Structure formats: C-alpha cells, structure tokens
C-alpha cells in the first residue's frame, strides 16, 4: 500500500515547540538543523519535556545559513539574534558523550527565566538526535493510521495530533502500524530511501498537548493496553530509520516500501 507524506516535523531546539516545513533535505545524518540546539541543567543533564513540558510552548525559528535564532515565548515576547558557537562543553546525551559548544547570547537567560531554573543552551555539532549513528535513527516516521488507532484505544474524542510524538515524517494512506512491517526493508520516501531499524518507545511527554503542554491524553495507558512490548523498546509507536539514500522529501511525496518501489 502506497502512502503519502502529510506532515514534516523538526525541532531546531530540542524540547521546544516543533516546526513543520513543507520540505526538507534528508542527509545520511538526518535533516541539517534538526535538533541543532539542546539544553542541560546545572548538573549537565538533558532538559526535555519530562521535567519541563512548558518549554514546548516556546516557538523557535532557525536558519542554518544565516545562523539566526529567534525564540517566541507564550507572552508574545521574542528573543533573537545571530548565533556564534562558543567554547566546547562536555556533556552526555543518553549516556554518550555528545560534541557540543556553549551558545552565548540572550536565549539562554530567557529560557532559564521561563523554566524557573538555570539552563545551559548548547550547539550540537551533529544534531541532538534521540538515537546516535550506532543505531541509526536519523529519520523517524509514523502513520496517521497508527495515530487513529491509538486515539480509538485511548477513547479520544478528536484526532490525535501527530506532533505529540515529534516524528520527522507523518504518513497517510497505510494501515495502522503498517510501518512496523517495514523494519529491515528499504522504503522510498520522496527522493530519499530509508531503512526502518526499530520501533520508538514512548514516554510521558506524548501525553501532553503540543500547543498547551497540558497532559490531556493517556497515550501510555493506551499503548500498554495493546502494544506493551515492541521489537526494540516497550510501548512502541512509530519507527526510527537509517538513511540509505539522501534526498529531498516534500509534503505529498509518495512513501513506498521496496516491493512497491520495484513494481512501479
């Protein structure tokens, strides 16, 4: 069954609101600029939606070419300027050393004030991906059919917003959890080709509305009811992929597993 890309979702600053471009250039290391920045607390621990869900209400705008970063806060205030990565900063991302640099400027102070504690804003040399190159994970995808199935299991009265899961690509036109059957196979998506490697285990962040940061849908209870165990991780929803062939991916592009790509 052939699908179509119906949403693209990147996060220039990990833990902040996501951005939905009409197209992206997918490289072997993912989308350049995706998760370019990340935050750590005073103990150099990753800051994410688990401890600071309110951060997803801060909207980033980032340009990789001009290196201009703007943060729009819920009160309408904007903090912006040109980023100059500073001194190297030693920190671990998911227990692995992650090459990063300090980001001097007004953004760190504004985010610290908003979060109510000192935060350090870091420039990620390669993008603060949830999975490193040892496991792949430079691209992720989930189907709208899976979102609808989860919504039914959770008793949702409205369609489940795919932005809760912060996946790079959202695909329509395939069966619920059909993406799980693509593991280990090549999948053409736009001009690129990816290879799904494993499922993505979910955490409490997905219970939060992506606009309000309010926990209003028990996604974890629903997944535990019908998808407790995954191939790689518990409470799986969506898959992570290696990038076999780089290329541009646009809204409306076809998504075809290898067998369909061969038949076309």
Interval 54-103: pLDDT, tens: 999 999 999 999 999 999 999 999 999 999 999 999 989 888 888 999 99
Q: Which residue from 168, 136, 190 is spatially nearest to 34, judged by alpha carbons?
A: 168
Neighbours of 211 (CB within 10 A): 12
pTM: 0.92
Distances (CA, A) of 103 to 43, 47, 100, 121, 251: 17, 15, 9, 6, 32
Cα-Cα-Cα-Cα torsion 135, 33, 145, 203, nearest 10 degrees, comes to 60
pLDDT at 230: 76
Q: What are phi and psi of 182, to 5 degrees?
A: -90, -5
Q: What is the C-alpha separation between 59 and 183, in angstroms, rounded?
A: 33
The predicted pLDDT at position 233 comes to 84
Residue ranges of the chain assigned to CATH 2.40.33.20: 3-29+133-263
Query: The CATH number of 3-29+133-263 is which of 2.40.30.10, 3.40.50.1860, 1.20.1250.20, 2.40.33.20?
Result: 2.40.33.20
Q: Which residue in 244, 133, 257, 140 sits closest to 201, CA to CA?
A: 140
> What is the spatial distance between Cα 101 and Cα 83, in angstroms, rounded to a whole number?
11
The pLDDT of residue 261 is 46
Distance from C-alpha of 227 to C-alpha of 237, rounded to nearest angstrom: 8
> What pLDDT score was predicted for residue 133?
47
Low pLDDT (below 70) residues in the chain: 128-137, 259-264
Helix axes 219-226, 144-154, angle to 10 degrees: 100
In the numeric block, the tokens 């629903």 are attached to 222
pLDDT of amino acid 262: 39
- 26: Cα separation from own chain's centroid: 14
- Percent of residues in the chain assigned helix, strand, coil, to nearest 5: 20, 35, 45
- Can you give the pLDDT at residue 131? 54
User: Residue 231: what pLDDT?
Assistant: 76
DSSP E strands in 100-259: the ranges are: 100-103, 120-124, 139-143, 169-172, 187-189, 192-201, 236-245, 247-250, 254-257
Tokens (6 digits) for 183: 């593991």
Number of Cα atoms under 13 Å in the Cβ half of residue 200: 26
For tokens 């997918």, the residue is 26
Exposure on the CB side of residue 64, measured as CA atoms within 13 A: 14
Tokens linked to 182? 């693509």
């Amino acid at each position: 069954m052939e699908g179509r890309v119906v949403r693209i979702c990147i996060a220039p600053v990990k833990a902040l609101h996501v951005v939905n471009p009409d197209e992206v250039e997918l490289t072997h290391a993912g989308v350049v600029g995706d998760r370019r920045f990340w935050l750590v607390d005073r103990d150099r621990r990753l800051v994410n939606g688990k401890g600071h869900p309110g951060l997803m209400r801060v909207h980033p705008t980032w340009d990789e070419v001009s290196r201009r970063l703007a943060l729009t806060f819920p009160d309408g205030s904007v903090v912006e300027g040109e980023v100059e990565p500073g001194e190297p900063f030693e920190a671990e991302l998911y227990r692995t050393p992650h090459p990063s640099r300090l980001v001097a400027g007004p953004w760190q102070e504004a985010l610290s004030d908003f979060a109510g504690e000192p935060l350090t804003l870091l420039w990620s040399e390669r993008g603060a991906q949830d999975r490193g190159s040892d496991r792949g994970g430079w691209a992720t995808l989930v189907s709208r059919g899976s979102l609808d199935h989860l919504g039914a299991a959770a008793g949702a009265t409205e369609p489940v917003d795919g932005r809760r899961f912060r996946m790079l690509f959202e695909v329509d036109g395939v069966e619920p959890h059909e993406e799980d059957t693509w593991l280990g196979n090549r999948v053409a998506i736009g001009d690129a080709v990816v290879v799904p490697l494993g499922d993505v285990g979910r955490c409490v962040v997905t219970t939060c509305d992506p606009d309000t940061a309010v926990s209003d849908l028990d996604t974890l209870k629903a997944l535990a009811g019908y998808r407790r165990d995954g191939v790689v991780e518990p409470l799986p929803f969506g898959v992570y992929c290696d990038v076999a062939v780089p290329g541009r991916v646009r809204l409306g592009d076809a998504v075809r597993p290898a067998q369909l790509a061969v038949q076309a």
